């Protein structure tokens, strides 16, 4: 079991955005934490604003572990990952194998508990909310980099905005309207 947690501790050393120059470096652990916070908000928005029935704890746990396979595979840049259906499918298969390898390090009594968050049912509402949160995290990264003067993220911001709108998610739309503008403010402006 110590190997399982050893692998998870590597998350803080694997950098994200390897294809684009970032002013502020980010690792998988930081990214996963941000996605969990955003996913938590989306689940609450689903339930409290729109009368939905998202399992908030399940959503947060799926978000927390959504990149665990990258501890083994590393982060493949988005343009390469989605270049064509064959690469996308092969990478997804590789991620599943990496997750299975990590799960295999756990005692038998714990595997099912971790499996439901590391390899969740892909069709459930909670997985969709995490997917939205992951995309929102990428959008917020673009806002942060642009605020710091890094114009390399200008095209990515536009592309991600289109993807977020294409979700046709009332939770995402609400988040963009009510929460995202704060990410463009300075600390003084937040007062």
Looking at the structure of the chain, the number of domains it has is 1
Burial of 64 (0-12, 13-18, 19+ CB in 10 A): buried
Task: Give the predicted TM-score (pTM) of the model.
Answer: 0.87
23 within a domain of the structure (yes/no):
yes
Contact between 176 and 135 (Cβ < 8 Å): no
CATH of the domain at 43: 1.10.3210.10
190 within a domain of the structure (yes/no):
no
Torsion of CA 106, 69, 15, 148, to 10 degrees: -120
120 within a domain of the structure (yes/no):
yes
Q: Whole domain around residue 136: which residue ranges?
A: 2-184
189 within a domain of the structure (yes/no):
no
pLDDT in tens, 68-80: 988 887 766 666 6
191 within a domain of the structure (yes/no):
no
101 within a domain of the structure (yes/no):
yes
- pLDDT by 10s per residue, the chain, length 191: 656 666 566 565 555 544 566 767 778 899 999 999 999 999 999 999 999 999 999 999 999 999 998 888 776 666 666 668 887 788 788 899 999 999 999 999 999 999 999 999 888 999 999 999 999 999 999 999 999 999 999 999 999 999 999 999 999 999 999 999 998 888 888 77
């Amino acid at each position: 079991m110590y190997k399982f947690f050893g692998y998870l501790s590597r998350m803080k050393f694997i950098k994200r955005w390897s294809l684009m120059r970032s002013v502020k470096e980010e690792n998988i652990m930081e990214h996963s934490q941000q996605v969990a916070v955003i996913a938590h908000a989306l689940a609450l928005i689903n339930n409290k604003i729109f009368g939905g029935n998202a399992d908030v704890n399940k959503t947060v746990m799926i978000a927390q572990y959504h990149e665990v396979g990258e501890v083994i595979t590393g982060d493949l840049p988005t343009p390469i990952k989605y270049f064509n259906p064959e690469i996308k499918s092969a990478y997804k298969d590789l991620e599943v194998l990496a997750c299975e390898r990590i799960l295999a390090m756990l005692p038998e009594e714990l595997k099912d508990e971790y499996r439901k968050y590391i390899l969740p049912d892909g069709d459930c509402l909670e997985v969709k909310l995490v997917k939205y949160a992951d995309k929102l995290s990428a959008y917020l990264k673009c806002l942060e980099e642009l605020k710091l003067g890094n114009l390399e993220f200008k095209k990515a911001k536009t592309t991600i905005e289109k993807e977020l709108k294409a979700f046709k998610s009332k939770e995402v739309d609400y988040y963009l309207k009510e929460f995202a503008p704060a990410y463009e403010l300075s600390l003084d402006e937040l007062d």
